[in-house]
Homo-oligomer: A and B are copies of this chain.
């Protein structure tokens, strides 16, 4: 914890280079319209003094912060047991860094925090927001809309409010689920069960819908609600085995759920995939490759989702700043692919 040295200002650089503040400012911001010899002199002065612009002063006049908030509206510990979010964060970070933007992370713990986040966003500290893990009844989108900050959502928000101008990036959950179930059907399986995700999230609902698209008149006994966690998967699998001991396949809403289901199946003496075939969702590598047997699953490019969210948001921010960068960004749904491994 060292002590502060007073940092040089534009003024100081200008004095040293023998030019005006305005010229230094021009050079620091790209140097357009300044003649070469002067540019050189200013650069040298900047170097010698170790000048770094004061971001606060700059923001005060430009009204830009070059910072984006990432809001994770996840009250539970689940996000943290789940590499999903970390991967998106990585994608976001890469994209933001590439555009010289900073990432301000806002984790919310419970309801009270929503107000805090709303205030923060409204406070104009950041140029935009990326919002994750929305649940169906979440008040956050309303607050954000009210704050008037450009926003992109991670996953389609299941939100009943004003939809205009809502931009999100999502995977084709429904299509991916269809692929998974069709694959199982293609293997000759007929009693295909589904362990859902937490149904207060649209991704879980969409995957369930995809399952139903294929299993048009599925035995309702074959559907059990899970919660995207391994223990939820275990519980659901036990319930399924009790209700439908004759099932021959399981489509789990995500890989973690599938991992839990696999354990229960093994414990029950059933062989995977011979007795029961299992398909997951996400292709979360550390999980999907490490299960026994390795998991057949629906891959979504999570990091790319993150990167895309950031890109859309930055475009929206620039647009708002008056730069012409094409029309208003619109939502994107990314395709999924089935990855075959040993479990189905």
Contact = CB atoms under 8 A, between A and B. Distances in A.
Contacts of A150: 1-2
A193 to B, nearest CB: 22
A102 B90 contact: no
A94 interface: yes
Contact of A107 (B4, B90, B259): B90
A148 interface: yes
A105 interface: yes
A52 interface: yes
Contacts of A54: 60, 123-124
B65 A56 contact: yes
A53 B85 CA distance: 32
Interface stretch (A113-121, A204-212, A216-224, A271-279): A113-121
A1 B105 contact: no
A320 B4 contact: yes
Contacts of A93: 105, 107
B107 A104 contact: no
B116 A97 contact: yes
Copies in the complex: 2
Given A103-B105, A290-B230, A1 B52 contact: no
A286 B230 contact: yes
A51 B86 CA distance: 35
A4 B50 CA distance: 36
Contact of A3 (B90, B148, B167): B148
Nearest to A266: B292
A160 B106 CA distance: 35
A224 to B, nearest CB: 20
Interface of A: 1-5, 7, 50, 52-57, 59-60, 65, 67, 70, 77, 79-81, 83, 85-87, 89-90, 93-94, 97, 102-107, 109, 113, 116, 119-120, 122-125, 145, 148-151, 165, 167, 230, 259, 263, 285-286, 290, 292, 316, 319-320, 328-329
Contacts of A120: 102
A307 to B, nearest CB: 13
B87 A1 contact: no
7 contacts: A1-B316, A52-B123, A55-B123, A80-B90, A89-B107, A230-B286, A230-B290
Contacts of A50: 122
A99 to B, nearest CB: 12
Contacts of A113: 97
Nearest to A93: B107
Given A230-B286, A316-B1, A103 B102 contact: no
